[in-house]
Structure 1
Amino acid sequence: MPTDRKIAVVLKGYPRLSETFIAQELLGLERAGIELVLISLRRPTDGKRHPVHDEIRADVHYLPEYLHEEPLRVLRGLVRCLPKPGFWRVLGLFLKDLPRDFSRNRFRRLGQALVLASEWPGQPRWLHAHFIHTPASVTAYASVIAGTPWTCSAHAKDIWTSPDWELSEKLGLARWTVTCTRMGYEHLRSLASDKSRVHLSYHGLDLDRFPHFDGTHSNRTGSDPADPVRIVSVGRAVGKKGYDVLLKALAKLPAELHWRFEHIGAGELTGQLKTLATELGVSDRIVWKGALDQTDVLAHYRASDIFALACRITADGDRDGLPNVLVEASSQRLACVSTAISGVPELLEDGENGRVVPSEDPQALAAALEELIRNPALRHRFGDAAERKVRGQFDHHTSIEQLAGLFASEWRAA
């Protein structure tokens, strides 16, 4: 039998190493007494899992990633949904959307929604989409077919690469939407007919997994070739992370400074970045670690001297929100250097608890890195201040309480 507090969470892919903030939230909601079932549009591609994924109890169900791969399942979904009153309503929505987005993806969204609404795994009473682009489209269609209310968590790429008409209409269909940066919040509010249904909720960090670091970061100054300053970055090798800019900044550091850069993460641009490092003459100082789980990432934060991430806005509008890795690194008293993109300045205040430089400016980034390499006392001061801010303002229990409260208010109203 369905329970009044069961939510189907629709995800683009699950599990994903790059989306620890989502996994933390799922576990937090379960611990708050909310029963979940997970609906993924794609099967996992990462070879590893974070420990948090193994703690989440919810069943996971996978929709057809491509409709032609499971045609009988899609056809069965269509036949089962035809008698539902919501089918004809959703067909009207689809025919309205199609001329504005005539693509395979639009047909795939409808097909996945038909499968979801016909199979209805776990008999949930509520739908919640993580990301306001594709997952929200599938969720909105399934909501209309099944007559089940839905809500949404919007993040970064999904906001900034979606057309305004689509965002506005989804904000009108969802009971409420939360987003994780003030910039995203203001943008969504500007498009919403009912602004009270848009909420700001920082993801925060599970500080039990990132406890206070009792050790000491080094006093390296880059003067000893046998003991170089250790710079680390964690992030997918994709355009919005700006790793090409970071490599150019590293190449601009004075020759007498000794440093080592470690990159943690996989991604489509890894090969190009390795080639660029060779062209810039810095490949011998760089270690490409590939994807690591959360435990290994934590160890690298604690062993490093500086965290660097050169966030940017790509040509299609894609950008980070507030990269969770900056919050993680800050929690370990690691001095951070990043760029003034989206929510980064909401965590890092330049000259107070880190360095924030303009995007697309390798020279400014190099100057900030040089300053921190040469000045370990400044690194320690920034790291201490950053940790205080994280532990004071970015504890994920706050966001879980906010989300659980939003769900509870809907259930009370119902």
Structure 2
Amino acid sequence: MTARRIAVVLKGYPRLSETFIAQEILALERRGIGLDIWSLRRPTDRFRHPMHEAIRAPVAYLPEYLRDDPRRVLRGLAWACRQRSFAALLRVFLKDLRRDPTASRLRRLGQALVLAREVSPEVAHFHVHFLHTPGSVARYAALLSARGWSFSAHAKDIWTTPDWELTEKLADAQWGVTCTRDGLARLDALGPGRTRLAYHGLDLARFPAAPADRPPRDGRDPEAPLKLLCVGRLVAKKGHDDLFAALGALPAGLQWRLDLIGAGELRAELERLARERGLAARITFHGALPQPAIIVAMREADLFVLPTKPAEGGDRDGLPNVLMEAASQELPVLATAFAGTPEFITDGTHGILVPPGEPKALADAMTALFSDPEKRRRLGRAARARLVQDFSEDAGIDLIAAALARSAGIALPAREDAA
């Protein structure tokens, strides 16, 4: 009997900013599930994480724009016209197109035609990361090829997709998961009982033990400035503008340096903002880096800062994995009480949380933490204990692996055999 497989549909693969997806794919493979990866676009990052090298799943790329490979799209259309479910697909698509008459909607249909035609006969089920555009491709391809589909919803897809579209996708999918209670509440309001909570967690085996100790820097010595670290894409929802405003409001005598890791559309604007505020000499823009380099930076830093907030159009974070990565190294965290962050960090216990969009509160919290190395040490240790006790990778992966196995008719090997 041919082994059944799962087709994992992604917007882009591999992506440095989506370590949580790579971690999940690798963990599912280790559970004994055969995967094929289908990406809507080719990667643009210069680096790859070690996890990407460990993943065995074959990767196929759909034409990002239909004009990129019109013959492939036409072959998909010709094949689709011969399928019994083509009329049903057209009804669903035309209904969507009336409410969303965009080139993007047409592109998703074309990609779905290619996917449905080219996917391996061994694939018994589609699983998609993100419910917005990737969810449309997976939904159309599943309908056309008479397969089931499921989803992992994360952040932007939950908060920026129209209610009508989320409602219909939730009704069509066999099941889904999301990574925060915040997101689960929104999805449950539109499709009760269709989604379960599955935190990404962290595979601690991939991380070194936390540093034995950190220098008790307090920002008073010009020769030993406090080292701040922020890791996140340079996009509005990460709140870098608030971070720069807070840094500009710190007492003049405090000595600090900021390492900013991440790439994105706002880099030029943020570099200009740093110059205008007189901060440029203290901030290093590193761009996107692979995970080993990020862990080195976390081990050398004194404080991790991530002031996420809602962006224009409703985009927002889920539970940023970098917070858990910082906790793995006992690096104290200063963040905002927003989205999924308070589900991991309790203010004053596992880190410090301030209201989103309030640079003064951020500056006051930084000033207090600068002068208290012992508190930083205590917060870092508590965050790691929280991570180990409640946010290991296993619980979420066990839930997803079992659901995928049921949907695809796969018999999972015993855990020790899968490993």
Shorter chain as denominator, the TM-score bin is: over 0.9
Deviation sequence 1:284-340 (CA, Å, 0-9, x none): 111111111111100110100000011010110001000110111011111101111
The residue aligned with 1:410 is: 407
Question: Aligned to 2:314, what secondary structure does the other structure show?
Answer: coil
The residue aligned with 2:303 is: 306
The residue aligned with 2:370 is: 373
Q: Distance in 2 between matches of 1:129 and 1:319?
A: 20
Paired residues for 1:99-138 under 5 Å: 99-121=98-120, 123-138=122-137
Deviation sequence 1:20-50 (CA, Å, 0-9, x none): 0000000000000000000000000001000
The residue aligned with 1:64 is: 63
> What is the deviation of 1:394?
1.1
Whether 1:178 and 2:177 are equivalent positions in the alignment is: yes
Q: Distance in 1 between matches of 2:260 and 2:319?
A: 19
Question: Aligned to 1:307, what secondary structure does the other structure show?
Answer: strand
The residue aligned with 1:223 is: 220
**Counterpart contact for 1:150–1:175, Cα < 8 Å:** yes
> What is the deviation of 1:411?
4.6
Q: Distance in 2 between matches of 1:180 and 1:103?
A: 29
Whether 1:360 and 2:350 are equivalent positions in the alignment is: no
Paired residues for 1:249-264 under 5 Å: 249-264=246-261
**Counterpart contact for 1:327–1:390, Cα < 8 Å:** yes
Question: Aligned to 2:230, what secondary structure does the other structure show?
Answer: strand
**Counterpart contact for 1:180–1:201, Cα < 8 Å:** yes
Corresponding residue pairs, total: 411
Structure 2 counterpart of 1:200, which letter?
L
Q: Distance in 2 between matches of 1:3 and 1:102?
A: 40
Question: Aligned to 2:285, what secondary structure does the other structure show?
Answer: strand
Q: Distance in 2 between matches of 1:76 and 1:170?
A: 27
Q: Distance in 1 between matches of 2:120 and 2:328?
A: 38
**Counterpart contact for 1:37–1:122, Cα < 8 Å:** no
Q: Distance in 2 between matches of 1:405 and 1:380?
A: 39
The residue aligned with 1:92 is: 91
Deviation sequence 1:342-395 (CA, Å, 0-9, x none): 101111111111111011100000011111111000100100110000111111
The residue aligned with 1:187 is: 186
Question: Aligned to 1:17, what secondary structure does the other structure show?
Answer: coil
Q: Distance in 2 between matches of 1:263 and 1:74?
A: 41
**Counterpart contact for 2:125–2:407, Cα < 8 Å:** no
Q: Distance in 1 between matches of 2:239 and 2:57?
A: 35
Q: Distance in 2 between matches of 1:120 and 1:288?
A: 41
Q: Distance in 2 between matches of 1:209 and 1:301?
A: 14
Deviation sequence 1:77-99 (CA, Å, 0-9, x none): 00011110111110000011011
Deviation sequence 1:40-69 (CA, Å, 0-9, x none): 000000010000000000000000100011
The residue aligned with 1:15 is: 14
Which residue among 311, 315, 319 is the counterpart of 2:312?
A: 315
Q: Which moved more, 1:33-42 or 1:392-401?
A: 392-401
Paired residues for 1:190-209 under 5 Å: 190-192=189-191, 195-209=192-206
Structure 1 counterpart of 2:256, which letter?
W
5+ residue gaps, structure 2: 412-419
5+ residue gaps, structure 1: none
The residue aligned with 1:46 is: 45
The residue aligned with 1:235 is: 232
Question: Aligned to 2:206, what secondary structure does the other structure show?
Answer: coil
> What is the deviation of 1:140?
0.4
Structure 2 counterpart of 1:367, which letter?
D
Question: Aligned to 1:363, what secondary structure does the other structure show?
Answer: helix
Question: Aligned to 2:193, what secondary structure does the other structure show?
Answer: helix
> What is the deviation of 1:202?
0.3
The residue aligned with 2:330 is: 333
Q: Distance in 1 between matches of 2:42 and 2:379?
A: 40
Q: Distance in 1 between matches of 2:55 and 2:107?
A: 28
Structure 2 counterpart of 1:398, which letter?
A
Structure 2 counterpart of 1:33, which letter?
G
The residue aligned with 2:414 is: none
**Counterpart contact for 1:312–1:360, Cα < 8 Å:** yes
> What is the deviation of 1:410?
3.1
**Counterpart contact for 1:127–1:151, Cα < 8 Å:** yes
> What is the deviation of 1:209?
1.3
**Counterpart contact for 2:124–2:408, Cα < 8 Å:** no
The residue aligned with 2:3 is: 3
> What is the deviation of 1:196?
2.8
Q: Distance in 2 between matches of 1:124 and 1:409?
A: 14
Q: Distance in 2 between matches of 1:227 and 1:395?
A: 35
**Counterpart contact for 1:176–1:198, Cα < 8 Å:** yes
Sequence identity, in percent?
Answer: 51
- What value does the CA root-mean-square deviation take over the aligned residues? 1.3
**TM score, norm. by length of structure 2:** 0.96
Structure 2 counterpart of 1:3, which letter?
A
Q: Distance in 2 between matches of 1:125 and 1:408?
A: 10
**Counterpart contact for 2:6–2:408, Cα < 8 Å:** no
